[in-house]
Every structure is written in structure tokens, then in C-alpha cells.
Amino acid sequence: MASHTMKAVNYVGPHKVEVQEVEIPKLEHPDDIIVKVTTAAICGSDLHMYEGRTAAEPGITFGHENMGIVEEVGEGVTLLKKGDRVVMPFNVADGRCYVAMGPYRGGQAQHIRVPYADFNALKLPAGKENEADFILLADIFPTGWHGVEISGFRPGESIAVFGAGPVGLMAAYSAVLRGASQVYVIDRVSERLKTAERIGCIPIDFTLRDPVDQIIEYNGGMVDRSVDAVGYQAVGTGGSKEQPNIVLENMIRVTRPCGGLGIPGLYVPSDPGAPDEASAKGMITLSFGKLFEKARNPTSWLSGDFLTKCNVKAYNRFLRDLIIAGRAKPSFVVSHEINIEEAVVAYEKFDKRLDGYTKVLIHPNGGF
């Protein structure tokens, strides 16, 4: 008789995950499918939980970037069949009201239950090709693309992307694909800046000198658009101290009047690890007067869209087709591919940014 348990990467407490044996998920609703996970990626937002900087409860299984092969199909599912290869968006939606988006059990495990599967699972070509590209459709490629989109970007414009982590690199890559004239990428990690340079961007090391001064000099003036791919754990020019408002402040300074800001970076309403009392309550100090002055124009900076959460489903079908057509190859951002047993070490190293860990793909059932 087949085993009823599987391996899963579970959160145990701050800075601690374990590979544990847990129950294999079952169909719970006619619209569910069960997917045998071929790839699950570790995300920067998993690290927020890993570090104990969120309300994540011990015992949860990590992983919201998942793909695999359909192995069981609920009787209400009409568009998918056993054997289909699928990728799921991180914000699995119930597909009926567009509002109820909620977490489901994580996919850094050998199997995963996907609710409302017809709506949530995006079908992929059969086989193993482009696995490392397709997994990025779960979150970071659409999220990076979305950051550029909500900045109001148009082809030919210049853009500054703050943060060369996976989402920042995807935003920069999206800007390149979409015909930006100049793409500046601001970070302090040399491997990340080198990766940005390889895809045709101009690397800006903010530990050397004020990044806004550097960009304005290089660009001969302010840029048209900017994207925050850092969020609330930003650090100042010295590089040692957290300063939650620094990226937003730099964006206000570096973006021209009538330009636009896109903020896919994460900000939270409460942060137990914040450097000061106000930001612990999610209150970020901003040069709002300066922002208002630059923004009070017809094509406003503050269109109401500029910090919307990425709706993966608005983009993932088209980005999938760019990958299939060979016009996009976002997997350049992947640094490591591992078995599930190696996940504990991968979390440690990724958290400390050791050994070039940037984007880690777990293959929970092996085979890659």
C-alpha cells in the first residue's frame, strides 16, 4: 500500500525550518486538484517569515511558487486532466469574487492541493523544457513586470529599479523586454549588480555614493520611472542600518515630475524587528510635500494603481507565451537547484546571502 505521508519544508520558528513528514493532501472540494510538485521556489517573502518578521505560525509549510503535474482531479474540474503540467499563481484566488485571495498550504512539499483549479492553474506545454523559466510565472516574473506596469512606463523611457534581488532583476528584465532606453539597477551585492549588467542594465552600487546623484549624473537628469523592489527592509547608503523609507525617498528624488513610481516591494502594517517605533507600526516617514509637488500633474504619480498587488493572472499567460516563443528567458535569475533535503541549508544560506544564493528552486520529487 502506498505511503500516506510526504516530505514538506515546515517553519519551526525564527531562523529554523525542517523537512518533516506530513499527510499527503486529499481532494477536499470538487474544484480541487492534487499536483505532484516538480518545482517549488524559495521566495524573498518566505525569508520574511523565516526571519520571524511576520505573523507566520510554526508548523506551516512554506512555498507559494509551485508547479508540477496534475495527479488527481476533482469532479467539478473541467479544463484540466491527470498528467497536465501546470503552474500556480502565488495569490491563489477563488476565481469568483476576485477579492477573496488567501494562502493555501505551501508547495515546498511533494504534493499540493490547489483549490479552484480551473481558474488558478495555468497549463504549460508537456515535458521538462523551460522548467526554471515557467516556475517564475508563479510570482516574480509577473510581479517584476507589474512593478514596471504600475510605474506607468512606456517604451523608450528611462527607469530606475531599486533592488537587484529576484523581483528587482525581473522588473529590470521586463523593462529591457519592453523597450526601455536606460535601465538603472541599484543594489550593493556585486553578483546581483553583475547579473543586472549582463541583461543590459546599468549597475549602481549605493554603498559607494548617493545612488540618486550617480543616476542623475549618468542619465543627464532624472529618470522617467522608478520601481521599488526592496520594501521595508531597506538599508541606507552606509549599507549597515535599516532605514525603511530610504528607497521611497530616493524614488521621489530621482523620478522626474510627471513620471511615475511603481511599488511592488513589500511594506507591512506591523514589523516586530523594525529599527524604530514608528516603522514598527508600519508608519513610514516620507517627503510627502516633495512628492505632492512632483505628482500634481495630469499623468499623476499617484494614480491609485502605483502600489497595487500583482494580479499574476493578468500577465502569466502572456509571459508564458513569451517563454515558449523563446523571447523571454527569465531563468537567468536562478542561482541554485536542490533536492528537498537540502532546503534547510538553502534557507540558511539564502537568508545570509551566502554563496550567491539569489533564487533557489526545490525539486521535491527529484528528477531534474
- Our CB check for Zn ion shows the closer of 65 and 224 to be 65
Buried b (16+ CB within 10 A) or exposed e, 57-73: eeeebbbbbbbbbbebb
Nearer to Zn ion among residue 234 and residue 360 (C-beta) = 360
- Helix/strand/coil (H/E/C) assignment for every residue in 276-336: CHHHHCCCCCCCHHHHHHHHCCCCCCCCCCCCCCCCHHHCHHHHHHHHHCCCCCHHHHCCE
Contact partners, residue 113, CB within 8 Å, separation at least 6: 25, 26, 27, 28, 32, 33, 34, 35, 104, 105
Cβ-based nearer residue to Zn ion, 138 or 235: 138
Q: Which residue is nearest to Zn ion (CB)?
A: 43
CB of 62 to Zn ion, least distance (A): 10
Determine the Cα–Cα distance for residues 160 and 225; give it in Å rounded to an integer: 6
Smaller CB distance to Zn ion: residue 40 or 183? Answer: 40
Least separation in angstroms between CB 138 and Zn ion: 7
Q: Give the residue with the Cβ less far from Zn ion, 256 or 313.
A: 313
**CA 145/CA 167 separation, integer angstroms:** 9
Nearer to Zn ion, 108 or 182 (CB): 108
Nearest-approach distance from CB 282 to Zn ion, in angstroms: 20
First to last CA, the chain: 27
* Smallest distance from Zn ion to CB 166, Å: 8
Interacting residues with Zn ion (CB under 5 A)? 43, 65, 139
Query: In angstroms, what is the minimal distance from the CB of 241 to Zn ion?
Result: 26
Q: Residue 65 CB, nearest distance to Zn ion (Å)?
A: 5
Task: Give the nearest distance from C-beta 42 to Zn ion in angstroms.
Answer: 9
Closer residue to Zn ion (CB): 140 or 291: 140
